[in-house]
Amino acid sequence: MSGAIVQSLCGVTLVGGGELTPAFVTDSLTIAPVLVAADGAADALWAMGLQPEAVIGDLDSISPTCRAALPAARLHQVAEQDTTDFDKCLRNIDAPFIIAVGFTGARIDHALACFNALVRHPERKCLIIGPADLCFLAPLSLHLTLPPGTRLSLFPMGPVSGRSTGLRWPIGGLRFAPQRLIGTSNETDAGDVRLNFSNRRMLVILPADCLLAALAALGCAAEPGSP
């Protein structure tokens, strides 16, 4: 294991201060049982009766009440201001995978910063999930098992090309870039989808109920008893 703040042999549920419900958190915990809060998200968890195993960030958002209630050993201040709390968490969690909830819905700029962090830290297997969608950074090769007709969007975070089988609109021969061609609103036309990319710059966006399929495609084993 690395010198990361949180080191786990099972999945981590990372909670942010965006759109969040108790059911959303508890559902994630059935798959990724280690609970971590990004700064002020600790207050939301405390209100739900949940205590994170670690709080990571610059700690400028957590309330004094919640801070005093948590064991000091669980509070981890990363004082630099050059990166977001999500970035601080991502680089300080060493786990097979991370499910990030509460990082969408509140502010577009915060969500964009999270997508940027996924590309900055390709060594972390992290899925950002909201009420409707999930998003993750594609590996160079990806094999997904999904029902035909499943919405599958691709969004490039830099120049990238690829090949595909199982998509209604194949991507072979296309050159993607944020300021040029993007791949949103594609869909599967077969149950077996294979994607290959020239580099680690492509985000994959799927419906939120495809979480287990996405985890399997990334080689992540969910906890026993997962829905």
Residues 17 and 115 in one domain: yes
pLDDT reported for residue 227: 45
Can you tell me whether residue 109 is helix, strand or coil? helix
Residues 178 and 90 in one domain: no
Query: Do residues 25 and 48 lie in contact, with contact meaning Cβ atoms separated by under 8 Å?
Result: yes
Residues 77 and 122 in one domain: yes
pLDDT digits (tens, 9 = 90+) for 201-220: 999 999 999 999 999 999 99
Looking only at the bridges linking them, the beta strands covering 12-15 and 133-137 are: unpaired
- Label residue 119 by pLDDT band (50, 70, 90): very high
**Of 131, 159, 176, which one is at a domain's C-terminal end?**
131
CA 44/CA 23 separation, integer angstroms: 13
Structural domain contains residue 33 = yes
* Total domains, the chain: 2
pLDDT surpasses 90 at 223: no
pLDDT surpasses 70 at 103: yes
**Of 81, 108, 131, which one is at a domain's C-terminal end?**
131
> Could you tell me which residues come within 8 angstroms of residue 148 by beta carbon, excluding any fewer than 6 positions away?
188, 189, 190, 191
Question: Which has the higher per-residue pLDDT, 98 or 105?
Answer: 98
The residue segments making up the domain with residue 83 are: 6-131
Q: What is the CATH number of the domain that holds 160?
A: 2.60.120.320
Q: What is the CATH number of the domain that holds 62?
A: 3.40.50.10240
* Percent of all residues in the chain with a pLDDT value above 70, rounded to a whole number: 96
pLDDT reported for residue 147: 97
pLDDT surpasses 50 at 1: no
Residues 74 and 112 in one domain: yes
Query: Do residues 17 and 7 lie in contact, with contact meaning Cβ atoms separated by under 8 Å?
Result: no
Residues 148 and 41 in one domain: no
pTM of the predicted structure, to 2 decimals: 0.94
Residues 176 and 74 in one domain: no
pLDDT surpasses 60 at 197: yes
Can you tell me whether residue 142 is helix, strand or coil? strand
Strand partners, 6: 93
pLDDT digits (tens, 9 = 90+) for 78-96: 988 889 999 999 999 999 9
